[in-house]
Amino acid sequence: MRLELGQISIKDIEFGDTTRVEDGVLYVNKEELIGLIKEDEHLATVDMEIARPGESVRITPVKDVIEPRVKVDGPGGVFPGVLSKVSTVGTGRTHVLKGCAVVTTGKIVGFQEGIIDMKGPGAEYTPFSKLNNLVLVCEPVEGLKQHDHERAVRFAGLKAAAYLGEAARILTPDSVEVYETLPLLESIKKYPNLPKIAYVQMLQSQGLLHDTYVYGVDAKQIVPTMLYPTELMDGAIISGNCVSACDKNTTYHHLNNPVVQDLYNKHGKEINFMGVIITNENVYLADKERSSDWTAKLAEYLGLDGVVISQEGFGNPDTDLIMNCRKIEEKKIRTVIITDEYAGRDGASQSLADAHASADAVVTGGNANEVIVLPKMDKVIGTLDYTDIIAGGFDGSLDPNGSITVEIQAITGATNELGYNKMSAKTI
């Protein structure tokens, strides 16, 4: 598969009479977009605001972050099986509004929702403080069940991203990046002397508002399978979960997966990047055994020399991570795992809920239990009502002076387990 990503740089967002891009500014017809989102009868009110890098703005509780994209050539459309028909994506050309995002907020759905500060110390822990954000504030109708609430806000964000993406359809991109993965035997033939490497991506699928969707299918309903890496870039995988904000893979993360991009950068030079194996994170032991068995079987069947494994979440998924690592290593395939740590506020506790000697090459995204004081912001988009109960917060987190004391667990993307953050650690 060969995919061209045409990137249109966005320097600012402003509201205007038509939705368009001019001189790097994304103008948004606010009334038109609100009308589109308000078609969902599950939402009582919808409003939107703009948050720019460096502004004294706090967004909370954050549910998802989505990058606007539009399919301009090739089969399917963005977010296939959800907003577009179920066609295999990952080929042709897709235009991207780079430097901006849609952020969804409003009444809390599940307690594991986060904070994005656009300036100050908190801004250093989240990549989304560097973006021009169109923030949707979506409030549900009275009595709406949690799963319906989550779905309504998820679709609101996706619809807004697709709507904004249309503004890039006929534009000439500022730059074009090309990614290509050949069919298996062709790839082996082309690079016979390079180590065959694949990426094993674990998808959050524990239920109870911990879900991820693959071509519109809840990931807990799948068995491990393979995707072309370019399918991820076209929205084949989207977030639908309320896992802790620090290591939640938002839809933006899936679209811009840095593991995929880094492996592509080394493809044909240091490694032969063979593709992506997706697997799920289950609750029951039998399901964990099945999925890890299948993941190891696929890695063996492909004749891989090594894999990179990333997880999403912590605690229970640590078991899936170690199972995948151990069983793939037993196939004589080397592994590197990417995770984060919950090692206590002093960093002295065991970092993962499970461990094995075969997990001897580990990349960490940092310790989510570290505590930070977030100073008061001049403006809050959303509400501070849930500050004391979100994961990472505690009774008394919100100070009367407007500052917030929380674990960095509460900051969206702080310890992301794809490595889309600034923190890590090194053995010395």
Where in the sequence numbering do the catalytic residues fall? 242
Nearest-angstrom CA–CA distance, 150 and 147: 5
What residue has token string 């009275």? 142
Chain Cα centroid distance, residue 152: 18
- Cβ atoms of 83 and 159 closer than 8 Å: yes
Chain Cα centroid distance, residue 254: 4
What residue has token string 């206590």? 344
Half-sphere exposure of 419 (CA within 13 A, CB side): 18
Nearest-angstrom CA–CA distance, 9 and 115: 25
Q: How is residue 421 written in tokens?
A: 């953050």
Determine the angle formed by the axes of helices 285-301 and 316-330, rounding to 10 degrees: 30
Q: How is residue 154 written in tokens?
A: 């998820």
DSSP letters of 2-53? EEEEEEEE--EEEE-SS-EEETTEEEE-HHHHHHHHTTSTTEEEEEEEEE-T
Q: How is residue 73 written in tokens?
A: 């050539």
What residue has token string 């923190």? 423
CA distance to 245, 278, 309, 346, per residue, from 214 (Å): 21, 9, 18, 38
